[in-house]
Amino acid sequence: YDVVIPNYFDIDEFDFCDKKEDYFLYIGRVIKGKGVGIAIEVCKQLGIKLKVAGHLDQSFVDNRDDWDSNIEYCGPVLPEERSKLIGGALGTFAPTWYVEPFGGVQVESLLCGTPTLTTDWGAFVENNIHGVTGYRCRTFRDFCLSAERLIQGKIDYKVCREHGEKFSLQGEGNNLGRPYYFIRVAGCPLRCNFCDTERSWKANIDQMQSVNEVARRAFDECQRLNIEWISITGGEPMLYPNQLIR
């Protein structure tokens, strides 16, 4: 990348917590590329609870019954729940397989005083200071040893918060941190090498929905979850200008 414009955060939405409970956390989109499988295997190896929060990819929906008893699925969480969930964790896993341009979850964790376990490439090289705000890992053994250090309390939680506060300017506008309903479109031909949603490249004809069907489902879900904002993303939504106008 020539330049990455980072996310910015309203620090009032993230409560600092130095009273940790006996669990690790994975929060975000539950997809293979985000490394949730690494988090599951590490916690299985150490015999400690892992809480998983976020939208499940279909592959994980199909295999959820195979998860061990130490894995607790919390579902998608709203900002109030998010802060409490992150703040109580011994550490947050962000073991992204690809080159992460930024990694907002990692900074959200620091704002709650929770160290992070990340891979050792992409934005984490800059934002996760090894041995200070958490640990960067390249092998399964690295992750296991680093998780054990977090269990032992080797990281200063106040330093994590201080580092996270570097991203506290209101850089993304007044809607930062508010819950959104995301509509993802498929059939994207761009093939960006930094894409974290490769499943959007192919359109499954069997799963095609009309604009009216998508709009109706979005409206119903927003009412049910009390969500005011909708984001249309992809893939590349601008490939379908007529549908967007409708």
| Dihedral-angle region of residue 136 (phi above 0 means left; psi in -120 to 50 means alpha; beta otherwise) | beta
* Helix axis angle, 140-151 to 36-46, nearest 10°: 60
Pairwise pLDDT comparison (183 vs 146), residue with the higher score: 146
Question: Does the pTM of the predicted model rise above 0.75?
Answer: no
State pLDDT tens for residues 33-82. 999 999 999 999 999 999 999 988 877 776 777 788 899 999 999 888 99
Average pLDDT value for residue range 179-185: 80
pLDDT band for position 175 (50/70/90)?
Answer: low
Average pLDDT value for residue range 185-195: 77
> What pLDDT does 173 receive?
47
Instruction: Calculate the alpha carbon distances from 111 to 28, 33, 116, 164, 226 in Å.
Output: 16, 24, 11, 5, 26
